[in-house]
Amino acid sequence: MTSKPARLRKAVLPVAGLGTRVLPGTKTTPKELLNVVDRPILSYIVEEAREAGIEHIVFVTGRSKGAIEDYFDHQIELEAQLEAKGKTAILEMMNAELAKAGEMSFTRQMQPKGLGHAVWCARDIIGHEPFAVMLPDVIVDGQPGALKQLVDAYEETGGNLIGVESVDIADAHKYGIVDPASREGNRITMKGMVEKPAPGTAPSNLSIAGRYILQPEIFDLLATQERGAGGEIQLTDAMDRLMHEQSFTAVEYAGVTHDCGDKIGLLRANVALALKRPDLGEAARKAISALL
């Protein structure tokens, strides 16, 4: 009888990036705190993690990212003003986002060596247990959330899982791409992956889309991982090595992905999520129609 996979409790959010694709807006504001409608991008990511049952979120930060830690803490004067003015709805919304005792940890990535290195920086906090990785500038609009869909699959398959979505094969060179061995429904058994393959060489059109569930053995491989694409330590390269020892399953999740680290992607996210809001949708539609 196959043993039940170890419970997934922790998630790593690498938030040390400089946000160069959305400059100058990120010159003083972390890209993860740029607004989508009326909430920071990071608010959506943390909400998705909590929905999936994550109990401990590890933020891998960098210089000038202190505002991220502050966002999930109390702001006593603001809260007092809202309470005095009877604005209880927004106060309750803000309080719901606060970090619970022991729920969040913050560690520094001292040098910008890439995503793989950022994940490795969380090794001592994660310990020897499976963990999720969530790219903090990718909002997935899905019900349930993308990570919850991966967790549901993980509870059946165990091993390592990667969230993927279909892209135009002509654009495959822009992404990490999985090499599929077989498929059953939305689950794909993997035999490899490649980071930003040369045009015309991609093994599929399934792009790695910013949600992962990984086993802790990945840390030993990241410790010795050589620099790859872009001169950085790539998480994809270490996963490809781990695939020789453990199972990897790609899950094509249901949902719409918004790359909020890109100017047009951030604009699309604002428009799409505003239109879905019961309280703002109609007004947003009229404002957009007037501009068009």
pLDDT digits (tens, 9 = 90+) for 124-178: 999 999 999 999 999 999 999 999 999 999 999 999 999 999 999 999 988 889 9
Residues 105-135: b if buried by 16+ CB within 10 A, e if exposed: bbbebeeebbbbbbbbbbbeebeeebbbbbb
The pair phi, psi for residue 200, each rounded to 5°, is: 85, 0
In tens, the pLDDT along 217-251 reads 999 999 988 887 778 888 988 998 999 999 999 99
Residue 29 carries which DSSP code? Answer: S
Enter the DSSP assignment of 106.
E
Residue type present at position 148: K
**pLDDT attached to residue 153:** 95
Longest dimension (CA), the chain: 62
116 pLDDT more than 80: yes
> Per-residue pLDDT for 260 more than 60?
yes
Mean pLDDT on 271-288: 95
Closest by CA position to 5, among listed 175, 132, 100: 132
CATH 3.90.550.10 applies to domain 10-291? yes
Q: What is the pLDDT of residues 261-272, one digit of tens each?
A: 899 999 999 999
Rounded mean pLDDT of 119-127?
96
Report yes or no: 47 and 283 within 8 Å, Cβ to Cβ: no
User: 286: which residues sit within 8 A by CB, 6+ positions away?
Assistant: none
In whole angstroms, give the CA distance from residue 259 to residue 160: 23
Type of residue found at 173:
H
Place of tokens 């619970």: 100
pLDDT in tens, 24-66: 888 888 999 999 999 999 999 999 999 999 999 999 998 888 8
Residue 249 to residue 164: CA distance in whole angstroms: 10
Residues 74-92: what's their mean pLDDT?
Answer: 90
Residue 1 pLDDT > 50: no
Name the phi and psi angles at 214, rounded to 5: -125, 150
Report, as an integer, the average pLDDT of 70-96: 90
**CB count in 10 Å sphere of residue 94:** 16
The pLDDT, as a whole number, for residue 117 is: 94
pLDDT at 245: 92
Q: Where are the domains of the chain?
A: 10-291
pLDDT for res 195? 79
Mean pLDDT of the chain: 92
Round to whole Å and give the CA distance between 195 and 105: 29
The winner for highest mean pLDDT among 25-29, 95-99, 162-166, 198-202 is 162-166
